Amino acid sequence: MSSIDDKTEQPMRLSLRGITKQYPGCLANDQIDLEIRAGEIHALLGENGAGKSTLMKVIYGVVKPDAGVMVWEGKPLEVKDPAHARQLGIGMVFQHFSLFETLTVTENIALALGDEAKDMKALSDKIRHVSERYGMALNPDRHIHSLSVGERQRVEIVRCLVQDIKLLILDEPTSVLTPQEVNTLFVTLRQLASEGCSILFISHKLNEVQALCHSATVLRGGRVSGDCIPAQEDPSSMARMMVGDETPISTDYTKVTGQSVFLAVEGLTLFSPDPFGVDLKSIDLQVHTGEIVGIAGVAGNGQEELLAALSGEQSVESPDTIRFADQGVGQLRPEQRRSLGLAFVPEERLGRGAVPDMSLRDNALLTGFLSGLVKRGMVNYKKTEAYAQKIIGDYKVKTPSSETHARSLSGGNLQKFIIGREILQNPKLLVAAHPTWGVDIGAATAIHQALIELRDAGAAILVVSEDIDELFLISDRLCAICDGELSPIKPTADTSLEEVGRWMAGMFATAKAHDLAH
């Protein structure tokens, strides 16, 4: 990778001067300056709520700034809308993809191009050529629902590349990829940069920023708190620029061996009613008291179906297929499983983890009702308020009050509230899906510490995550799920990033047979 010194001779592609955006009660961007040269890979770092998303929307024409100037290739201009941004050569790949499952790759890309996509055969040929040129081979005729998450991301990137791309904005692009797919993506991005394309790279994964990016701008509280050359920093020093010295960012957790089995899953086979779902195939899994077991996997490989079976949203044929401490629970409802010690953090924060238009106090009651908050069918509002306040206080949830609606919290703060709500019930088993999805390093550290403390108090914990670094950090044992099958489960110290990456790609049949033979 070329150094930042090689880029200082390149012409300026984008310059932001004094960009300011005010929302009611929130100054999202406060006099932000940012410069990106041609061929530069520039990182944008910051906590949740630091102003990154707003700034990206300003560049892409989704949001109009209240003040400030955007200079594009030496000329001041106002980006009218995303279509205008694309005409200028600005492309953006959002963290959550916007693809139609029942359409082909070519049809999805044609929708973004509008009138430019009159000749579908020519577009299909161009997609094939461009994707192969940048090492992201795609079959233009495949339907989106048949693609892996990594392949879907390729579609989003290729959708930008078939146009005359000059600036590519990537929002958390590696959060849904296997390690091997991350390496492939980085090869592509370096090739694009070498050809003069500028890249704005938003990520919470500071080791990746250090490996890939020529320069970085750090936002804190809506303002630029610093600039750096990642190759001259380490993840810890960059994290300090993001969160300040007062926020703990320790990431060293001791691995332990669990005691007795609490969760036992034997031969779980489940057919998904969703036409785009995944069938579970003979899943065997044990989680002991006093340990954290991590399940890695690219999204859409059976995680949703497994979580539904464990939480009780989906019952199974035999009660004994899923057991809590030798009691068959396979046909019990969610509230019955909760009464036996289950706590559950779903993948979706808003809509499943919390009701958007309900207050935090009422959201605390949703799953905390078994903790003495309801008696003879009557809600004890004094206890419910105290419970909500304890969650807010213990987990440092930034909110005006317990009356605040869930939807008004940032993603990180709402996640801390949901995690706290479940942990404060002192569960015997905690099943957590993507506990730090889209959460900044300060909030992630607080959540990880809470999980470790719960483990050390004797709970059995199962964490399902697409963040492989997170799983290596907090898990005592690790496995992966691919196409509804579970890989071998190994102590974290006895496996590697490369091996788990292979498991995530389904390369574990031989390893599983070897484990069974021994």
Q: Tens digit of pLDDT per residue, the chain (518 long)?
A: 344 445 667 899 999 999 999 987 778 899 999 999 999 999 999 877 788 888 999 999 999 999 999 999 999 999 999 989 999 999 998 776 788 989 999 999 998 887 767 789 999 999 999 988 888 888 999 999 888 777 888 898 888 888 888 999 998 888 767 777 788 889 999 999 999 999 999 988 888 899 999 999 999 889 999 999 999 988 888 888 887 766 665 667 899 999 999 999 999 999 988 777 889 999 999 999 999 999 998 877 899 899 999 999 998 989 999 999 989 999 999 999 999 999 999 988 888 899 999 999 999 999 988 888 888 889 899 999 999 999 999 888 888 899 999 988 877 788 889 999 999 999 999 999 988 876 777 778 888 999 999 999 999 999 999 888 889 999 999 999 999 999 999 999 999 988 998 999 888 865 555 454 45
Whole-Å CA distances, 236 to 98, 225, 250: 34, 16, 9
Nearest alpha carbon to residue 475 among 254, 250, 292: 292
Three-state secondary-structure class, residue 143? strand
Domains 4-243 and 261-341+427-517 share a fold: yes
Angle at 173 (CA atoms; ends 504, 199), nearest 5 degrees: 140
Structure tokens at 86: 């694309």
CA–CA gap between residue 64 and residue 54 (Å, rounded): 10
Q: What is the dihedral of CA 474, 480, 485, 488, to 10 degrees?
A: -90
User: Which CATH class name applies to 261-341+427-517?
Assistant: alpha beta
CA–CA gap between residue 423 and residue 344 (Å, rounded): 9
Structure tokens at 412: 């990180």
Structure tokens at 311: 């939480």
Provide Rg for the chain, Cα atoms: 24
Residues with Cβ within 8 Å of residue 506, at least 6 apart in sequence:
482, 483, 485
- Which pLDDT score, from 0 to 100, does residue 249 have? 59
CB atoms inside a 10 Å sphere around CB 312: 21
Q: In what order do the strands lie in the sheet with 67-72?
A: 26-37, 12-23, 67-72, 75-77
With 0-12 / 13-18 / 19 or more C-beta atoms within 10 angstroms meaning exposed / middle / buried, residue 257 is exposed
The per-residue b/e assignment along 96-123, b for 16 or more CB within 10 angstroms, e otherwise, is eeebeeeebbbbbbbebeeeebeeeeeb
CA–CA gap between residue 53 and residue 438 (Å, rounded): 12
CB atoms inside a 10 Å sphere around CB 511: 15
CA–CA gap between residue 111 and residue 108 (Å, rounded): 5
Three-state secondary-structure class, residue 304? helix
CA–CA gap between residue 83 and residue 350 (Å, rounded): 30
CB atoms inside a 10 Å sphere around CB 31: 14
Query: Which residues lie across from 198 on neighbouring strands?
Result: 167
What are the residue ranges of helices labelled H in 374-410? 381-394
The per-residue b/e assignment along 466-497, b for 16 or more CB within 10 angstroms, e otherwise, is bbbebbbbbbbbbbbbbebbbbbbbebeebee
Query: Which residues lie across from 217 on neighbouring strands?
Result: 44, 227
The answer to whether residues 437 and 175 touch, using CB atoms and an 8 Å cutoff, is yes
What are the domain boundaries of the chain? Answer: 4-243, 261-341+427-517
**Overall pTM surpassing 0.85 (yes/no):** no
CATH number of 4-243: 3.40.50.300
